Chain A
Amino acid sequence: MRKKGTGIKPQSKRFTPSKWNEYLVPIVLILLLIGLLATLVIVALSLYGLTPGI
């Protein structure tokens, strides 16, 4: 059973973010994404020999 048009199951628990969280969560997600990309960049740089050693 799904709510029509929402794609969300009716049992799902909705929440309303506080003003603080409205900004905090996207910033945290972006930071995590940057961290993930940075990790991959370090690996790529090390493959090209641009870091002290692998």
Chain B
Amino acid sequence: MQYISILSTIISFIFAAAVLHRYRIKRTNHLLFWGIGLVFYGLGTLTEVILAFTFSEWVIKLWYLSGAMLTAAWLGQGTVYLLVRKRGVARSLAVVLVILSLISLGLMIAAPITPEAVSYDMSQPASAQYKEILVRNGATIGLTILLNVYGTIALVGGAIYSAYLFWRKKVLAKRMVGNILIAAGALMPAMAGSFVKAGLVDYLYVSELIGVILMYAGFLLAMEERTPEGDVMTSATLE
């Protein structure tokens, strides 16, 4: 099980480094938020690796904070920066996201750990055990759902919308395929995460690996086909 998370972690951080490197060159907000979102993605899978070898209350809190609460929202905010052109909207949403992220951090720091933690089974995934160990109050659960719904709609919906625009106008085929891969990749852990939260089947770790591979492939494909104006991976800026 840990090999899957190790691979996911390596790919996530390479992907994050590639996006943040582009941010250093381009200085566009969408790349910054995507880069940070991918760092959270990598932290989520890294903590899964650590939890496969040893249990720590702070590691499981970091796992929940980065993987369950922040990743989708920060990646989605990158797409919002890219697609929402109305002045001030993306920035306002970003401010709200930063505030909610800080509240999430506070909630996680304050979240109690149950005595069940002593019987944490390292051979089982954290996603199968966290509910018995980490006490999440209504605010934490509500915030988790809000951040995930926002991030998933923005990231997956944005990539589908961009791919549709490229398809409709029959331009930039590689970017169209790249966006399809990004949408599919982002959807995998989003669906798996929803299944876990809903107490249904748990295929979170595998979905994280497939998800990050698909998104990275989509990013690389989209980057191959640059317009003179920009570099973006989910550019729907045809008009």
Q: Residues of A at under 8 Å CB distance from B?
A: 6-9, 11-17, 25-26, 28-29, 32-33, 35-36, 38-40, 42-43, 45-47, 51-54
Contacts and interface: CB of A to CB of B under 8 A. Distances in A.
A43 B187 contact: no
Contacts, number: 97
Contact of B238 (A7, A17, A33, A51): A7
B134 interface: no
Contacts of B157: 36
Q: Is the contact region of chain B dominated by helix, strand, or loop, or is it mixed? A: helix
Given A16-B170, A29-B180, A36 B160 contact: yes
Interface residues of B, number: 37
Given A36-B152, A39-B190, A52-B198, 7 more contacts: A8-B171, A13-B171, A13-B173, A15-B171, A32-B156, A36-B187, A43-B198
B198 A45 contact: yes
B149 A15 contact: no
14 contacts: A8-B171, A8-B238, A35-B156, A36-B152, A36-B157, A42-B191, A43-B149, A43-B198, A46-B198, A51-B199, A52-B199, A53-B198, A54-B141, A54-B199
